[in-house]
Amino acid sequence: MDLLTMLVQVTLVAAMAALISAQAKPDCQGKCGSISIPYPFGTEAGCYHDPEFLVTCNKTYNPPKLFYSNTSNINVTNISVDGQLYILHYIASNCYDQSGSRTVSNIPSIRLSKFRISSTRNKFTAVGCATRASIVGVKEDRTYGSGCMTICDSLDYVTNGSCSGIGCCQTSIPTGVAQYRVVLDSYFNHSFVWNFSKCSYAFVVEEDKFNFSSNNLSSLQKVEKLPVVLDWAIGNVSCSVAKESPGYACKGNTSCYEVDFGQGYRCNCSEGYRGNPYLTDGDGCQDIDECNDEQTPYPCEENKNFCKNRVGNYTCSCPKGYHGDGRKNGTGCIADRLLVIKIGVGSVIGILVLSVASSSLVWVIRRRRLIQQKAKNFEQNGGTMLQEKLSLLDPSVEAAKIFTIEVLQKATNNFNKKNFVGEGGFGKVYKGVLPQNNMAVAIKRSVVVDQSKFTDEVVALSQINQTNVVKLLGCCLEVEVPLLVYEFITNGTLFHHIHEVPGLSISWEIRLRIAKETAEALSYLHSKGIIHGDVKSTNILLHDGFTAKVSDFGASRIGPSNEKQLQTMIQGTLGYLDPEYHQTSQLSKKSDIYSFGVVLVELLTGRIAICSDKPEKERILSNYFISSMNKNRLILDHRIGKEDDDEQVGEVATLALHCLKLKGDERPAMSEVATKLEELMRKGKNLLTSPEVNPTEPELLPGKSLDGSSTSSTVGYDSPSNQAKVPL
C-alpha cells in the first residue's frame, strides 16, 4: 500500500468519526450549508434537547448561515459535542475625525442565559494608539470589570505579534461569564495619532485566531466580526441529581462529567465507544473495533491474528511459549519460565548491571544539569552582586536573606494550589511556613523582573523598617524569575473589606486610622527615594486589628531621594493612575499622592475606582467625586454611622480633593497628608468628650481647606443609594 493511499484512508476514517460525533437527531436537519448541527442542538421542536439548544438556519444567505436561537447577531460557525459553540461576534469601535471629534461609534454586547464565554479559549483585546477599553460582565449574578489600555505616538514602536500595550493590549476573561458589554474611549485627544490610528477597537476573540500587526490600526475598520468560543453544558444540576431526572441527557454507553465553569454537566462516550453521546444507543455511542481502527494504534503486541474485538472492549492473545494479556498497555506477552531460563539466564546479570549503570549515569547527569542551571540563574539574577551589597550593610540592620529553592518548595508544599492566596498584576502569591523557625511568609512568584535594577531594589526594600510597610524578608535567585519572600499578613485587603464583605463594614474611626497609617508608610518610602507606583486598595493589606500594611512593589521605582521624576513605561491600575503620569510617562512621588487620593475617596464613598455599570458621569470615581465636590455635594458611604464627626469627614474629603489635583505640583507632599490625618485623628478623639449634637437638627459648619482656612461653601453628604442628604 503506497503512502498516498494510506493518507486517504486515514483521512476518510477521521472524517467518518467526526461525522458520527456530529450526528443530528434522526429525521432532523443535520446541516446548514457546510455546518453540521449535532444533537443536542436542533433547528425545530423535537430536534433539540431544550430551547437553550435551538439554532436557526437562515437560507436567505448564499450559502445559508446558522444563528444561535432566534437572534441575528450570533452567527454560528461550528458546533462541537465536546462542549464548544464557535460563533462570530461584533468588534467595538470608536472612530474620530482629524480634529479629534468622534464620528462613528459601535459598542456591541452579548447576553446568554446558560452558555458561557470560554475563559480558556478567548482573550479581551484592545487595539489603537490612545485606547482605553473595559469589559463589564456578569458572573453568577455579580458584576465584574476588567480592561487594559494602549499607547503609541509613532508606528516605529509598534511590534507585530505583540499585545504588550503598545498599539495592542490583552487581558484574560474570568471563568463562568454569561454576558458582557464593552466600554471604549480615548484617554486623550485622538487628533495627535489620527494620521496612523483613526479608530479605537476592543473585542473578545478566540485567542489563537488573532495575531496583532501594525496594519490592524487601520485595517480593522473593514472587519465587522471576529471568532469567539462559547462553552455549553446540559441543565444546571450535577450529574448525581441529573441521573435521577427524566430529562437526563447521557444515553447508553456514556459517562457523565461536570463542567468547571458553572453549573451543568456534559456526556462522554464510555471507553471503547465512539459517537454522539447525546443520542440513543443505535444512533449514539457505538463500539470501536480496536483491532481494525485506523484512528488509534494497534493495541496488541503481536499481529492482527492475535486480536479479537468485543463489544466495548477487545482481547489479545499470545503466541506459543508466552503468556499474559498480550496488550501493549498491559502486561503484554511474557515468555514462559522454562523459556526464560533457557534464553535469558546468562544475560540477566549483564542487563541488570547495564541498567544500574545507565540509571546512575542519568541521575548524575540530571543532578549536574540542575546544579549548573541553578548556578546560572543565580548569576543571571545578580546573586553575587547582591551578596556583596548585603555584606556592606550596617550589621544592626536585618538584611534580606537569600533562600534556596528547596527551602521555599518545602515551605509551600512544592507550591501546592492549596497554598495559593492571590494574584496581582505582577505575580502569584503563595502562603508558606519556613521550616527553620515555623514563620508564616508570603512568597511571590513574579511574572517578570527588571534584573538590571533587581539587586538595588532588594537591598533598598530589605532596609525598610516601617510598621505599615510589608517587610521584605528575602529572595530566591536559583530560578529563572526570582522569588520574593515577605512577612504574611492575615486579614486580607482593604478592597475586600470595603467592597466584598456583605453586611459588614469597618467603622469610620478604623477607616481614618487606615488612611493615616497608609500615608505614613508612603511618606516613609518617599523619604527613602522609593516611589510605590501602584497605590490602590488591593495593595493595602490589613493585619491583626486592621493595621494597614502597604504591599506589592512590582511597579516601584527607586532613585536618589532628590530625583523629582523618573522616565518609565506606563504601569499602574485604571482608576488610580495619575493623569499627569499618563500623558508624560514621568513617574514622580506626586503620582503616588494622586493614587492615595483615590483610596481616600474609596474609604469615604464605599465605591470602586471604576464601575462601568454606572451612568457615564459616575463611572470613574475620582472624576465623579471632584465634580460632586465642586457642586458642594459629598458622596458618602451610607454605612458610615450618623454618630461620626461631620466636620472630620468633610476635612478628609477636602484633603482627598487636594490629592486629586490634575497638576502634580499642586498636590501636597505625602508627609503633609500624613500630618493632616494625624491631626484629624487627635481632633476626633478630643471630640469624643464633647456634647452630642441633636441629629434631627444638623448644625451647619463651614467647610475647611487643607491648610485649615474656612471656605464659604456648604458641603452636603450624598449616599450612593441617594437616601439621606445631610448638610455638613
Note the pLDDT tens digit of each residue in 81-95.
Answer: 999 999 999 999 999
**H/E element holding 264?**
none
Q: Which residues have a Cβ under 8 Å from the Cβ of 219 and sit 6 or more positions away?
A: none
Instruction: Express each pLDDT in 240-291 by its tens digit.
Output: 999 998 889 998 889 999 998 888 999 999 988 989 999 986 788 888 888 8
- Provide the pLDDT confidence category of residue 708 given band limits of 50, 70 and 90: very low
- Provide the pLDDT confidence category of residue 434 given band limits of 50, 70 and 90: very high
Q: By mean pLDDT, which of 10-19, 420-429, 486-495, 687-696 is the weakest?
A: 687-696
Do residues 567 and 585 lie in contact, with contact meaning Cβ atoms separated by under 8 Å?
yes
Cα radius of gyration rounded to whole Å, the chain: 32
Neighbours of 385 (CB within 10 A): 14
| CATH architecture designation of domain 383-487 | 2-Layer Sandwich (3.30)
pLDDT above 90: percentage of residues in the chain: 31
Look at residue 349 and give its three-state secondary structure: helix
Which pLDDT score, from 0 to 100, does residue 236 have? 87
In angstroms, rounded to a whole number, what is the distance separating the alpha carbons of residues 180 and 528?
Answer: 44
Among the listed residues 532, 717, 524, the one whose alpha carbon sits nearest the alpha carbon of residue 625: 717
C-alpha cell at position 472 = 521584605
In angstroms, rounded to a whole number, what is the distance separating the alpha carbons of residues 213 and 195?
Answer: 17
pLDDT higher than threshold 60 for residue 692: no
Among the listed residues 609, 727, 674, 586, the one whose alpha carbon sits nearest the alpha carbon of residue 146: 609
Instruction: Express each pLDDT in 360-389 by its tens digit.
Output: 888 888 888 888 888 888 888 888 888 888
Question: In degrees, to the nearest 5, what angle opens at C-alpha 568 toward C-alphas 562 and 572?
Answer: 105
pTM over cut 0.85: no
Read out DSSP for 564-622?
Answer: -EEE----S-TTTS-HHHHHH-EEEHHHHHHHHHHHHHHHHH---SB-TTS-GGGSBHH
Neighbours of 683 (CB within 10 A): 13
What Å distances lie between residue 514 and 262, 397, 501, 511, CA to CA?
37, 27, 17, 5
**H/E element holding 58?**
strand 55-58
pLDDT higher than threshold 50 for residue 499: yes
Greater confidence (256 vs 292) lies with 256
Greater confidence (472 vs 294) lies with 472
Which pLDDT score, from 0 to 100, does residue 130 have? 85
97 given a catalytic annotation? no
| From 534, 552, 637, 646, the catalytic residue | 534
Q: By mean pLDDT, which of 88-92, 328-332, 647-651 is the weakest?
A: 328-332
Do residues 531 and 522 lie in contact, with contact meaning Cβ atoms separated by under 8 Å?
no
Number of residues assigned to the chain: 728
Question: In degrees, to the nearest 5, what angle opens at C-alpha 611 toward C-alphas 608 and 614?
Answer: 125
Among the listed residues 278, 309, 679, 669, the one whose alpha carbon sits nearest the alpha carbon of residue 516: 679
* Average pLDDT estimate for 538-554: 87
Classify domain 494-690+699-718 at the CATH topology level: Transferase(Phosphotransferase); domain 1 (1.10.510)
Neighbours of 436 (CB within 10 A): 8
Domain boundaries, the chain: 84-231, 383-487, 494-690+699-718
Read out DSSP for 309-332?
Answer: EETTEEEE---TTEES--BTTSS-
C-alpha cell at position 179 = 454576558
* Average pLDDT estimate for 132-152: 85
Greater confidence (134 vs 700) lies with 134
In angstroms, rounded to a whole number, what is the distance separating the alpha carbons of residues 518 and 514?
Answer: 6
- Provide the pLDDT confidence category of residue 342 given band limits of 50, 70 and 90: low
Q: Is the dihedral of CA 525, 529, 530, 533 positive or negative?
A: positive
Given its phi and psi angles, is residue 100 left (phi above 0), alpha (psi -120 to 50 degrees) or beta? left
